[in-house]
Homo-oligomer: A and B are copies of this chain.
């Protein structure tokens, strides 16, 4: 079954202590869509400017991503630049140029509206709502977010959280949203906001799912080299939802294994700048890391 992915389609300029990489393909939807594409057909919703390099369109196409919902508008593509600190865990935004995304109104092609799996990747909650408004009874909706929306669009976000099956956020965002340092209490507080499933991402420490069957504590794949973690969280949710779509049937039954597939997919994202390593990955590589993770947690 197919996955609809909405989010940002961007150009990222990323500085790390070791290198500088201008105008990489980035954005939450790019990372999530490519990650999901290893498992299921993907329909992309986004907007880019006339400056968007043709080679990135070709990259999407190589991953068989349906681009009927990608608008190409007059103006500049959303451009984010950021810098990572030595330990690669903290990053700061240097510049954000919204470009065409500022006036973006996502219109879904007819064929998109019945996608059973919907990933509202990180973008303004108002746009996530707008996409959801156009969907016809999706089977499973996941929303991701970022600290920016907690700061400037909290009412929209809180309304959104009530409308989704699973809400994904990282540990610092969970602390911010719930004003609580304790992960277990945070999870409980977020459930009270609406979603049946809550997933807190903890970077190299893995993630934790809370749902009707209790907690699932998932490892991250241990990496000996983290080149650029930008997009790892988007790859995680993309891989997760792609896997769920590939299985169909009962979500509860497949969700834990889906999280491990998300984790494995995200590990490749971290090993190269932008999407450079992810796009060299094949389904077999991901399956191998899933098997390795399975061995690493067994006792």
Contact = CB atoms under 8 A, between A and B. Distances in A.
Interface in A100-146: none
B219 A217 contact: yes
A295 B184 CA distance: 16
A299 B223 contact: no
A214 B298 CA distance: 12
Given A215-B296, A217-B297, A222 B208 contact: yes
B295 A181 contact: no
A222 B217 contact: yes
A225 B297 contact: no
A11 interface: no
Contacts of A202: 205
Nearest to A293: B217
Contacts of A151: none
Contacts of A181: 86-88
A213 to B, nearest CB: 9
A295 B205 contact: no
Contacts of A88: 181
A298 B256 contact: yes
Nearest to A184: B224
Contacts of A3: none
Interface of A: 86-88, 181-185, 188, 202, 204-206, 208, 214-219, 222-226, 256-257, 259-260, 293-299
Given A217-B297, A256-B298, 17 more contacts: A182-B223, A182-B225, A182-B226, A184-B223, A184-B224, A185-B224, A208-B222, A214-B296, A215-B296, A216-B296, A216-B297, A216-B299, A217-B293, A217-B296, A256-B299, A257-B299, A297-B297
25 contacts: A87-B181, A88-B181, A182-B223, A182-B226, A183-B204, A183-B222, A184-B222, A188-B224, A202-B205, A205-B205, A214-B295, A214-B296, A215-B222, A215-B296, A216-B296, A216-B297, A216-B299, A217-B219, A217-B222, A217-B293, A217-B296, A256-B298, A257-B299, A259-B299, A294-B299
